[in-house]
Structure 1
Amino acid sequence: MANNEKILQLLKTKGQQTSQQLADVLELTMMGARKHLLNLAEQGLVVSGTDHPEAAIANSRGRPQQYWRLTKAGHQYFPDRHADVSLQLIDGVRQLFGAAGLEQLIVQREQQQQLHYRQKLSNFGDLAAKVQQLAEIRQQEGYLAEAYLLDNGLGDNSLPEIGAPDGSWVLVEHHCPICAAATLCQNFCRSELQLFRACVEGLATVERTEHLLSAGSRCAYLFSPVSLGN
């Protein structure tokens, strides 16, 4: 993957970053990272500014830091899969067979996914292994997914006091490659949640804690282990 693509992916998954932060991750000099950023800016994919919370702190101490973020075009660099065709098909099914017919189609897709995912997860016994493998499957499908153990110091702190039990995992999806279809019919989102629940049945409960289509910046799912007494 070229450095320009790596920068776009880092800004998509990590949010606003300074030139130095990007340089450290990519093992470049700051000038090298800045050269790539300026090239992306010329393409209209990124823009810099000082409206990051940390920039305000820096401003109180002296010169504010410049933070780089994706533009709308930058976000669209990660496109929906066959979005136009998907929307046409969904609308066609709804017109021909009504809402019930569309729901049957979604249920069939969910069942097919469950079979596929369960086969992929069959060699993974515990919750940690299953969630990490789920993240890998979703990453391969274009969701820019990652999984982390809640409060293990490795993930972000965007899930506040939610009272999750010890051993809970979080699956984060920074991009939704079926977003256009899900926007038209949010039963796709319900189906995704049911899919995850089926994959860890008996091991954990699953709740969506952040939703891209409900003013969230991504989708996040909390996997809470089921106690032995339940």
Structure 2
Amino acid sequence: MNNNIQENEKAIWILKNEGEKTLKDLAQQLGVTTEGARFQLLKLSNEGYVKSESRAIGRGRPQQFWSLTQKGHAKFPDSHSELTLRLINKIKENLGEDTLSEIISSTGQDNLANYRKSILETDSLETKIQKLAQLREKEGYMAYFEKTENGDFLLIENHCPICAAATLCQGFCSTELNTFQSILGPNTKVERVDHILAGARRCAYLIQEK
């Protein structure tokens, strides 16, 4: 957990990074009693940042699961979203969709060139993914990777700092996927399995060696 964030916002940070949690789980991660966690969550709920859903698990009593609201997700920055949206609309109006697609593609090539400064063709696949996750983390995507039980990898991004732009023009998402495929090499398959724009809480990419 980022120790620099304010005490009353640590629950938001946990829910953003890890998804929905029960009161007990959050209390454990916050290092407080369940009543202390409940107090924080009710305060955040009243402010519109979190919400709860009661759900039956097995034969026991229903449990409350807490998650972020849209306002809660919005606490994490969307880089220059208002200016970006205006620029995208102006390009569409004055230069057309084809020009916008060319600009997005060119930006993707710039990102690829930047990644190649750190990610070498001779690196192992795991090293490539580790470096890519570190680069994406620096760019604000709250990124990390996991190795699955069968030896594949998951690149996980808990935040999208260009979400507003990607919502308006999904060419950004397609370009990102192509960039990942290119940087990880032709012997690798990259598949997006979770997508924020499709309603998921995060974007996640399944990476497999062919």
TM-score range, shorter chain: 0.7 to 0.9
* Residues 197 and 41 (structure 1), Cα distance of their counterparts in 2 relative to 1, 3 Å cut: same
Count of equivalent residues: 206
1:108 and 2:106 matched = yes
> SS of the residue aligned with 1:125?
coil
Match of 1:86 among 84, 99, 119: 84
Match of 1:47 among 42, 47, 51: 51
- Other-structure match for 2:10: 6
Q: Distance in 2 between matches of 1:174 and 1:114?
A: 21
Q: Distance in 2 between matches of 1:43 and 1:214?
A: 26
- The alpha-carbon deviation at position 99 of structure 1 amounts to 1.8
- The alpha-carbon deviation at position 45 of structure 1 amounts to 1.0
Q: Distance in 2 between matches of 1:44 and 1:216?
A: 20
Question: Which structure shows the higher strand fraction?
Answer: 2
- Other-structure match for 1:30: 34
- For normalisation by structure 2, the TM-score amounts to 0.87
- The alpha-carbon deviation at position 37 of structure 1 amounts to 1.8
The answer to whether the 8 A contact 2:147-2:154 is kept is: yes
- Other-structure match for 1:56: 56
* Residues 18 and 214 (structure 1), Cα distance of their counterparts in 2 relative to 1, 3 Å cut: closer
Percentage of pairs with the same residue: 40
- Other-structure match for 1:185: 169
Structure 2: any 5+ residue segments left out of the alignment? Answer: none
- The alpha-carbon deviation at position 33 of structure 1 amounts to 2.2
Q: Which amino acid aligns with 2:19?
A: G
The answer to whether the 8 A contact 1:124-1:130 is kept is: no
Q: What do the CA deviations read for 1:132-176 (whole angstroms, capped 9, x no partner)?
A: 22222222222222211123xxxxxxxxxxxxxx53211122221
- The alpha-carbon deviation at position 203 of structure 1 amounts to 4.6
Structure 1: any 5+ residue segments left out of the alignment? Answer: 152-165
- The alpha-carbon deviation at position 124 of structure 1 amounts to 7.7
- For normalisation by structure 1, the TM-score amounts to 0.80
* Residues 77 and 18 (structure 1), Cα distance of their counterparts in 2 relative to 1, 3 Å cut: same
The answer to whether the 8 A contact 1:47-1:68 is kept is: yes
- Other-structure match for 2:25: 21
The answer to whether the 8 A contact 2:19-2:201 is kept is: no
Q: Distance in 1 between matches of 2:194 and 2:39?
A: 35
* Segment drifting more, 194-203 vs 33-42: 33-42
